[in-house]
Amino acid sequence: MGKATGFLDYERIDYKKRAVDERIKDWGEIRIPQTEEEIKIQAARCMSCGIPFCHAGTLLGGATAGCPLHNLIPEWNDLVYKGQWEEAYRRLSRTNPFPEFTGRVCPAPCEGSCTEGYHMEAVTISAIEYEIIEKAFAEGYVKIKKAPATGKKVAIIGSGPAGLSSAHYLNMLGHQVTVYERHDRAGGLLMYGIPNMKLDKSIIERRLSLMQQSGIEFVLNTEVGKDISTAQLLEEYDAVLLCAGATKARGLNVEGKELSGVHFAVDFLSANTKSLLDSQLKDKKFIDVKDKNVIIIGGGDTGTDCAATSLRHGCQSVYQFEIMPEMPQTRQSATNPWPEWPKKLKVDYGQQEAIAVAGSDPRQYLISTKKIVGDAQGNVKEVHTVKIGWVKDEQGRMIPKKIPGSEKVWKADIVLLAMGFLGPEDTVPVELSLERDARSNVKTPLNRFQTSADKVFAAGDMRRGQSLVVWAIQEGKLAAAEVHEFLLGKLCTL
């Protein structure tokens, strides 16, 4: 513990963001890095608890509590405070292969379970993680590691966070790893699902370059089940690991859903990023919302990303519809006690930008879409909604009930569906005749990763359903250990 009274001496100070009027004119990252002295002071606030709940990585109250990667947070906080940056990086990378990703896009459940957060503001764990890994790259601490070759070959389907994590560890253990990706760039949702202002794509390319130098092969523009069969992979490789995500987007079953101008949020975000990377948007191969009225159905990070992207394109207006009520300003201890994830109102970067541009929060709560109306040419022109309240039914379940007289018509040119995902696409699971669970995810035994098919394993959202990037990375790590055990008959702890 670097400074015994640090939590009393210093207040939490978050990293600053670039000014709204500046950042909405470009696609650069919005974060302003902190100085080394600022980060040392924030690290000094860590109390090095006897029981560090920030390590936990479990589910409490239906949400993640603590770090799923079980990061050694008090240890590297202490090292940062003492100025021992290289050792701090070694402790961080002991559990997390990609801190540059989690430090940017993880919602930080570790901070929600920080003991200090019980009475005051939590330690800025995410910001400290970000600064450790960026200093590590700048100082050359990040090196390629690989064990002697085992002679075993593993194919990984999907290059999102789970696929990259498992590739990293299997390669480190000495196996020959080939990652198959259907898109033109590796990275999965990190590359095409998260906009550049949150995660600059050069950060992903920096890591991918290291992985390629270490011997990992990426086969791009290749869809397994279409361009190459799973049977061929099983013949060529000693094991196959499925990390293709839960990419079946949830639709909206209302009149008008087929109109021109209704898009899945993931298609909107991915097309924008691809066009940005290919041509700086000059090829116009994106969903253009300039001067248009945009309605986003669904909250969460994806809805926020859609709002921020729409504002950068110069939309006329943007609203987010959320069927749930507005969160309270502070944690409600009676129903949401520490160390559960604090369920309180969060004003994220997209909402901050909308408030600065339009003067009000774009989110509309307790609202349900009744229908989408189009013009004579089949283009969206209106969204019809009704307000709802949540009531208990006869079985005690909370259900939405429409409020009479609360109907409203919203002008709309573009409707973006940001309501999450239903599970993995069917091609590979069907081709392999894999068992599925009740939510259509690939089924494996509890806390295990081998599927019902010989030599086939699954990890990440494809196995557990839509979840956090940090869970996908942890699943990739654990699956790699199980594949290693399968290949060599040796237990492995990563």
How much is the pLDDT for 490? 85
How much is the pLDDT for 198? 97
Cα 5 to Cα 2, 202, 270: the distances in Å are 9, 39, 47
Q: At 439, phi and psi to the nearest 5?
A: -100, 15
Run of H or E residues at 212: helix 201-213
Quick check: bond before 328 cis, omega within 30? no
Q: HSE-up of 74 (CA within 13 Å, CB side)?
A: 22
Report how far residue 432's alpha carbon sits from residue 263's, in angstroms, rounded to the nearest whole number.
31
Question: pLDDT: is 490 or 134 the higher one?
Answer: 134
Tell me: the pLDDT tens digits for 60-87?
Answer: 988 999 999 999 999 999 999 999 999 9
Model pTM score:
0.96
Tell me the torsion sign for CA atoms 64, 205, 164, 158. Answer: positive
Amino acid in the structure at residue 41: I
pLDDT beyond 80 at 2: no
pLDDT beyond 70 at 455: yes
Tell me: the pLDDT tens digits for 282-321?
Answer: 999 999 999 999 999 998 899 999 999 999 999 999 999 9
Average pLDDT over residues 173-182: 98
Sequence-separated contacts (24+) of 221-225 with Cβ below 8 Å? 221/181, 221/182, 221/183, 221/184, 222/180, 222/181, 222/182, 223/182, 223/427, 224/157, 224/180, 224/182, 224/427, 224/428, 225/427, 225/428, 225/431
Say which DSSP state 24 is in: T
How much is the pLDDT for 146? 86
Average pLDDT over residues 234-259: 96
Tell me: the pLDDT tens digits for 389-422?
Answer: 999 998 889 999 999 999 999 999 999 999 999 9
Contact 278, 272 (CB under 8 A): no
% residues pLDDT > 70 (the chain): 100
User: What b/e readout covers 103-130, taking b as 16+ CB neighbours within 10 angstroms?
Assistant: bbbbbbbbbbbbbbbeeeebbbbbbbbb
pLDDT beyond 90 at 144: no
Q: How far apart are the first and last CA of the chain?
A: 26
Average pLDDT over residues 15-33: 97
pLDDT beyond 90 at 492: no
Report how far residue 96's alpha carbon sits from residue 252's, in angstroms, rounded to the nearest whole number.
37
Give residue for tokens 């590796």.
186
Angle between helices 300-312 and 349-358 (to 10 degrees): 40
How much is the pLDDT for 3? 86
- Gyration radius of the chain over CA positions: 23
Q: Indicate the average pLDDT of the chain.
A: 96
The tokens of 96 are what? 């997390």
Report how far residue 280's alpha carbon sits from residue 63's, in angstroms, rounded to the nearest whole number.
38
- Picking from 440, 417, 399, 401, the residue whose alpha carbon sits closest to that of residue 254 is 417
Q: How many CB atoms lie within 10 A of CB 202?
A: 10
How much is the pLDDT for 42? 97
Q: How far is CA 118 from the centre of its chain?
A: 26
How much is the pLDDT for 1? 65
How much is the pLDDT for 493? 83
% residues pLDDT > 90 (the chain): 94
How much is the pLDDT for 62? 87
Report how far residue 290's alpha carbon sits from residue 317's, in angstroms, rounded to the nearest whole number.
10
pLDDT beyond 80 at 338: yes
Confidence of residue 333 (pLDDT cuts 50, 70, 90): confident
Tell me: the pLDDT tens digits for 368-381?
Answer: 999 999 999 999 99
Contact 203, 175 (CB under 8 A): no
Confidence of residue 494 (pLDDT cuts 50, 70, 90): confident
Average pLDDT over residues 274-287: 98
Amino acid in the structure at residue 117: G
The tokens of 123 are what? 């330690």
- Picking from 479, 470, 375, the residue whose alpha carbon sits closest to that of residue 104 is 470
